Amino acid sequence: MDLGSIMLILALALGVGIYISLPLTRHSAAEKLVSSNKSIDDVDHKRSALLAERDRVLTALQELDFDQALGKIPAEDYPEQRTALMTSGAAVLRQLDEIEPTGGSAASAEDRIEVAVAQRRGEIRRSASNGNDDLEMAIAARRRDRQEKTAGFCPKCGKAVLSSDIFCARCGTTL
């Protein structure tokens, strides 16, 4: 082997070594960047978890009120369950206030829960009434379309027929 071949092999070995070590060096640089952003991600994750817990408590309160109105829950159990849910909801709101203050006091956390539950009830009633109104209008239009005077009775089976009928719905006789 001559000197040129040895230099070429060493240059290739050095290039391969650098190429292989690049991900390792980039990982440590990226790790430093991630560690600086980690606290921001932790706060966002905690905030997201608290918002999900707040929504869960609001839904549970709404369902509890609905079940109590239907009589599914004994009267002596309802105040205890509602108080427990209100307490946990207030604790969640206090933690949310620690993360991002909204200007509200800790004493008004239960009032904010009540307001949020009332807003959800109103949203559900509005969406249910809008859906029912549309449905009721469609049913009324269908009934108006179908309201025709009877033209008499089928000569074969005696079933009442409409003036727009060509055949009897029961026996199929041509009218």
pLDDT digits (tens, 9 = 90+) for 107-156: 466 777 777 777 877 776 666 555 567 778 888 877 776 666 667 888 88
Location of structure tokens 């206090």:
94
Residue 133 structure tokens: 């109104």
Q: Tell me: the pLDDT tens digits for 151-161?
A: 788 888 888 88
Look up the pTM and report it. 0.42
Strand 160-162 to strand 150-153: parallel, antiparallel, or no bridges (unpaired)? antiparallel
Alpha-carbon distance of 154 to 102, in angstroms, equals 75
Q: Tell me: the pLDDT tens digits for 35-94?
A: 555 566 777 888 889 999 999 999 999 999 899 888 898 889 899 999 999 999 899 988
